[in-house]
Structure 1
Amino acid sequence: REQNADCVHCVPAVLASFPLCQLTEEDLTQNPLFCKFLATLSHHVDRTGLAVSLKEELEKAERELQTQRLAWLQSESLFRLLQEMIQDHCVRQHHNSTSSEDNKFYETMEQCLLVAQCVRQLDPSSTTGQEQPPLLGLSAKHVLDLMPPEKDVRHMKQRLLAELEIRLKKKCFNILSYYQPDWEDESEGLKNLKLSRLPETLESESKRVEALREKEWERATLLQRQTHYYLSELMGCMQILQSLILDYHLKAQKELDKKKVDYLEAKCQIVIRKIRAEMLQLQLDTYTAEKISAHRKIKEKLDAELKAVRAEKQSAESMLSSFEILGQEFEALVQEYSQLRLEIDNKSWALREFSQHSH
């Protein structure tokens, strides 16, 4: 009971410590030892499952990488800015006439930049921490001999700071205008003030974006957990529904069959009545009033003939009964009469034929 009570108290903390795991409160409450193990493990790992010591080393490495990345970005930005200045001067020199002082300044700067690039290629140990064999037998000292005169370099450096400041200031104003287009028409002093606050503003917005991403990640994790819980509950409901269907299927089927039989009987009666109505309609369409009157007259005529035939039959039967009273002697006379009648008919036919052929 004590373990279950402790498990109930630490369930929310365990779920929050392991958001990526597909765990539910029911899983943890049913397995208190496993819940206790996860609660102990949460003190040694972070939310992503990474060990605390390894997380510290990773954060340290990320800070060092960020420092080196910032140093590289500064040098790369300065190098590209110098290249851009040289290219702009070449374009101006091609389209317009430039002063000798400007030409000397940019030539000295370009030469110094090329020498610095060559030195970096020949001696990368300052940036990579590794030694490299000399290229074509050259060393950084050989290339440094190609530097412009020290006087020209000094004058170039004095002017370069001002030029870089102007260029960087212009680019910062462009970034400020891109960030807030409404600030483009404001005064230079106000722009400088807002530009000084721009890093803090961008940093705060970056933190806000990271916080929103963190919240979005937490919401996505919560949604995933709730989806998993919802699906598990849905599966349970489906199982219960399936058992109810299996349990009450026969009872419902019996009632359904009875209703189906009643329905078929009613439908059969309706069909029979409909057939009867069609038969009556067919008779009405077949036997009109004129046909019935004609049939009635025909029936009357046939009845009269039938009556006469029956009367004739009755008289013949009465005559036959009177002849039967005379017995066998009358029957012999009848046969003799029939024979004589047949001979008379034959001779009459022969006489007619003879008379016809004799003419």
Structure 2
Amino acid sequence: MYFIELFRLLYDKKQSFKMIFFGFLLTVLASFPLCDVTEDDLTQNPRFCKLLVLLAQHMDRTGLTASLKAELEKTEQNLQSQRRQWLRTEVLHRGLQEMIQDHHVREAHVTEPPDQNMLHETMEKCLLVAQCVRQLDPSNATNEEQPFVFGLTPQHVKELMPPDKDVQRMRRALPKQLENHLRQKCLHLLSYYQPECETESEGLKTVKLSHLSALLDKEKTRAESLRGTCRENAVLLQRQSQVYLCELMKCIQLLQTLILDHRLKIQTDLDQSKLDYLEGKCELVLQKLKAETVEVQLDTYTPNSISAHRKIREKLEAELKACRAEKQAAELKLSSFEILGKEFKALADEYCRLRSEIENKKWALAELTHVKN
């Protein structure tokens, strides 16, 4: 009993060690998802596994070191800050352009108040002048002096600005109108994202609008998480596909071995069985042909024709028997004549010649007698 318990304890420890080692291998593989490495590779190459463990302490899942990752995060933060600043400017610029376009669309249908026309015309001129000035300014990325287009300078273009009084009036009225325009765009975005809020009150829409950015950030985070999960699943699927192909190749090799080793051994028995089957089939076909022949004969010959054939056969057999008896008698006579020897043959030939001459002379005499008459 003591040895059994000891053996069971050792077996349990061995199983637990296997589970721990397997979990360790999975942890190492999870640290390098982009590497095409399997559990068998790590098991067969322990030094390589140790190297991966050491690398995992200094690298993340994407293969970046800690210092490089910190520098990358700092650069990304700077990039995000500059991107946000550019987006603010771009949103304002596009918002102003959309306001001008909406004004032109409304002008084609309704008559706008003079102050609104003046405001939008001033804003349009300011945008055009600012765009031209930006195009004419030399690039800040190089110290070389660039030639001006048609000799125009930014100062020449700035002279086309509207009067300062109109510009100041536009600046005072623009924030409120721009705010209303952006608010309408946000409400349209909210209606697109949540169509059920179109029938709600303005206050409730404003409350939902204040939480829209958080909802969009949440959806974006969820989409990125799903994208990362999809990438991990793709890597896992590729790894499993490779394992599946390896196992499939092993199965194919095993099947090929079975075919080459075992099928050739039983090929003789298979051929003998096939030969016996074909012989039995041929015998069956022959018996069937005989049965068909008998059936055809039964259908062809009636009882009367059979009795007639029997009588004909009896008559022919009787004639054949008589001919055989006559033949036998002639053979006996010939045998008796053969006893006389060669002299009898000469006499027989002379007799035949004389008989032939007699027959010829009789014929000639008959012809002469016929002519005289």
Give the TM-score normalised by structure 2: 0.78
**Residues 133, 157 of structure 2: 8 Å contact kept:** yes
Matched with 1:45 is: 59
Matched with 2:219 is: 205
Alignment CA distance shift 1:352-1:55 (3 Å): same
**Residues 119, 140 of structure 1: 8 Å contact kept:** yes
Deviates more, 1:286-295 or 1:237-246: 286-295
Matched with 2:30 is: 16
Matched with 1:243 is: 257
Tell me how far 1:342 sits from its aligned partner.
Answer: 6.3
In 1, Cα distance between equivalents of 2:245 and 2:317: 90
Matched with 1:30 is: 44
Q: Which whole-Å deviations, capped at 9, do the CAs of 1:192-222 have from their partners, x for residues lacking one?
A: 1111110001111111111111112221211
Matched residue type, 1:262 = D
Alignment CA distance shift 1:325-1:172 (3 Å): closer
Tell me how far 1:335 sits from its aligned partner.
Answer: 9.6
Matched with 2:3 is: none
In 2, Cα distance between equivalents of 1:341 and 1:119: 157
Deviates more, 1:340-349 or 1:248-257: 340-349
Counting only pairs closer than 5 Å after superposition, residues 1-359 of structure 1 correspond to structure 2 as: 8=22, 10-93=24-107, 96-123=110-137, 133=145, 135=148, 140=154, 143-144=157-158, 146-281=160-295, 283-284=297-298, 288-309=302-323, 345-346=359-360, 348-359=362-373
In 1, Cα distance between equivalents of 2:245 and 2:293: 62
Alignment CA distance shift 1:318-1:54 (3 Å): closer
Tell me how far 1:293 sits from its aligned partner.
Answer: 2.5
Tell me how far 1:284 sits from its aligned partner.
Answer: 4.6
In 2, Cα distance between equivalents of 1:324 and 1:105: 161
Alignment CA distance shift 1:336-1:132 (3 Å): closer
Alignment CA distance shift 1:309-1:198 (3 Å): closer
Matched residue type, 1:42 = A
In 1, Cα distance between equivalents of 2:220 and 2:240: 30
Instruction: Report the 3-state secondary structure (helix = DSSP H, G, I; strand = E; otherwise coil) of the residue aligned with 1:184.
Output: helix
In 1, Cα distance between equivalents of 2:234 and 2:336: 124
In 2, Cα distance between equivalents of 1:356 and 1:272: 72
**Residues 89, 106 of structure 1: 8 Å contact kept:** yes
Structure 1: give runs of 5+ residues left out of the alignment: none
Tell me how far 1:229 sits from its aligned partner.
Answer: 1.1
In 2, Cα distance between equivalents of 1:335 and 1:142: 160
Tell me how far 1:300 sits from its aligned partner.
Answer: 2.4
Matched with 2:5 is: none
Alignment CA distance shift 1:147-1:310 (3 Å): closer
**Residues 11, 28 of structure 1: 8 Å contact kept:** yes
Tell me how far 1:48 sits from its aligned partner.
Answer: 2.9
Deviates more, 1:44-53 or 1:163-172: 44-53
In 2, Cα distance between equivalents of 1:298 and 1:102: 137
In 2, Cα distance between equivalents of 1:337 and 1:94: 153
Alignment CA distance shift 1:282-1:103 (3 Å): closer
Give the TM-score normalised by structure 1: 0.81
Tell me how far 1:119 sits from its aligned partner.
Answer: 3.4
Aligned-residue Cα RMSD (Å) equals: 4.0
